Amino acid sequence: MTITYKSRNEVPEQEKWNLEDIYADIGKWDEDYHQIEQMNEKLKDFDGAIHDGSSLFQYLKLKEDLSFIFNKLYAYAMLKGDLDTRDTEAQSLIDRAKSLSVKISAANSFFMPYLLSLEEETLHEYIAAEKGLDYFKEDLLDSFRYKSHVLSKEQEGILSQMGEALSVPSHVFGMINNADIKFGEVTGENGEKLELTRGMYAKIMEDEDRDKRREAYKAYYQPYVQLKNSIAATLSGAIKNNATTAKIRQYPSALEKGLFGDRVPKDVYENLITTTKQHIAPLHQYMKIRKKKLQLDELRAYDMSVPLVSGVKRVIPYEEAFATMCSALQPLGEDYSKILHEFKNARYLDVRETPGKRSGAYNLGVYGVHPYILLNHQDNLDSLFTLVHECGHGVHSKLSSQYQPQITARYSIFVAEVASTVNEVLLINYLLNNEKDEKVRYYLLNHFIDQYKGTFFTQVMFAEFEKITHEMAEKGMPLNAEAFNSIYESLFREYNGDEVVFDDEVKYGWSRIPHFYRPFYVYKYATGYTSAIHLATRILAGDQDTLKSYIEFLKSGSSDYPLELLKKTGVDLTTSAPIESSLAKFSDLVEEFSKM
C-alpha cells in the first residue's frame, strides 16, 4: 500500500528536491532579484538608442543575461510554491517574480516594433558589421514572420502592462484547483470517513468494487459541480482573453495564433481531429468489450479505468518502479541509462504526495542547473508510467541544455511529448515481453489500450473542445457553465460511443482540466503520441539509424521548427500517414485484446 505522509518532514531526503542547487537561501534569491531590477533599468536605456550592429548586440546580450538569471529566480519561486501551495512565503516569491516579469516585458516592449521597423537589408548590414550578432541571427530573421502581428511601440507597451491582469483567470483556477478545493468524503477500509485526495481518487477508480468507484466519482466531482459558475467564469475569461489578443494582433483566428510560433499549419490541427474521428470505430468497439467484460447492464464514466482482468492489481513500490524504468529504457543506450541514475542520486525528483503539494506531475528544465521533476507517486502502474513519462521530458531537457546554447536550448512543447511518450511505449513493450503469466499480459494489454485512449483520443477530444469554444468566443457567443456542459457532453458522446450511460457529472468534465488555460496545447499530446509510436517501433526493431536520429533529436532543443525536427527522424506530420498508422496500431490492439 502507498505510504501516506502527513508532512514533507516525514519524506526521506533522497525523495525530495534539492532547491539549493538553484539558490542556497532566500538571501541569494533576493540578491538576484535586485540585480535583475538594475539590469532591467539598463535595458530601458536602449529604447531609441539602437542605431547599429554594436548597440543591437549589446542590447540582446544584456537581455539574454537577464533572462538567464530571471529563469532561475522564477523557477525557484514556482518549485518552492508547488511543494506546498499553502506556503505564504513561497506565494510571496511567486507574486514578486510575476511582477518583475511584467516590468521586464514592459522594458523590452519597444524592441519588436523597432526591429520590424527596419528593412531586412539593414538588419543584414548590422549582422555583417557585428560578429557577435551571428549568435542571434536566426532569431532576428525569424522575427520578421511576426511583422503583421506586432503593434506600435505604444500599443505593445500597453499590452505588456496588461500581462499580469490577462493571466488572472489561469491563476484563479490554479488556486481553486490546488489550494482551496475540498473533495467529498469516501469510506475507508475500516468503514471510517476520509476526505478524498486526487491520489486516492486515481487508485479508487481502478478498484474492482463498483460501489467504491461510484462513491469516489461523486465525491470527486462534488466541488466542481458546486463551483461550476465560478470555474466557468475563469475559463470563459481565459478563452476570451486569448481570442481578443489574437484579434488585436491581427491573426485570422485564436487557433492560428496558437500554432504560429511552432510554424504548424492549421491543416495539421484540423487533420488530426478529422482523421481521428474517421477511425473512431475501434474505440467504440473497445467500449462494448469493456461493458461485456465487466458484465454490466450499463457502462458509466466511473467504469472506464478499472482493469478488465480481476485479481491482477499490481502494487509497484517506487524503488521497483525506478528499476523497471531503467530496464525498459535500455534500448535507448547506456548514456541514457546513466542520466536516469543521475536524476535519482542527485535529487532531481520530488516523489511523494504531501498535504498542499501541487497535484499531477511535470518536468521543469532550469538552464544552467538541471531538470526538476515533480511526482505524486502512488504505488501502482499509472505512477510507473508517470515516472517514465516525466523522465523522458527530463532527459530531453538535460540533453538540449547540454548540447544547445541558451538561445535554442528550450524545446517546443510540440516536440516535448515525443520524448515522454517514446518512453511509455518502450515500457509497455518491456512489460508485455517479460511477463509469462497470460492473465497479467492481458491486464497489461488492457492498460496499454486505456493509456492509448487517454493520451491520444481524450486529448483530441479536448483539442476539439478548445477549437469550438474559441470559435464561439470569436463570434461573440455566450460562454458559461451551460454552454461548456453542452459542448463537452456532445463531444464525450461522439468520441466514446453509445455504450456509455451518462451520470450528470460527465458534462462537467471541462471544469477540472488545467490545460484549457494553456490554449491549443493538448493536441500536442496526440501528435507526440503518434510520432512516438512510429519512433519506438523502429527503435525496438533494432533500427540504429532511427535510434541515432532520435538521440540527436533529444539534443536539438529548438534549433529548428518542430515539424522539421521530426522529419529528420522520419516522421512527417504534414500528412495523415503517421496518424493513420497510429490508429491502425490501436485497432490491432483492440482486435488482439478481444481474442485473448
The catalytic site residues sit at 390
* Cα maximum dimension of the chain: 77
Number of residues assigned to the chain: 596
Q: Angle CA(199)–CA(201)–CA(205) in degrees, nearest 5?
A: 125
Strands 185-187 and 193-195: antiparallel
| Helices assigned H by DSSP within 10-132 | 26-44, 53-83, 88-108, 111-117, 120-129
Nearest to 419 by CA among 450, 388, 443: 388
Q: What is the CA radius of gyration of the chain?
A: 25
- Write 244-247 long-range contacts (CB < 8 A, 24+): 245/159, 245/166, 247/474
Closest CA to 527 of 281, 286, 271: 271
Integer angstrom CA distances of residue 280 from 2, 580, 590: 36, 11, 12
- Which cell is 487 given? 459542448
Of 487, 526, 494, which is closest to residue 509 (Cα–Cα)?
A: 487
Q: How many CA atoms lie within 13 A of 269 on its CB side?
A: 26
Cα-flanking dihedrals φ and ψ of residue 322, to 5°?
-65, -45
Cβ neighbour number for residue 499 with a 10 Å cutoff: 18
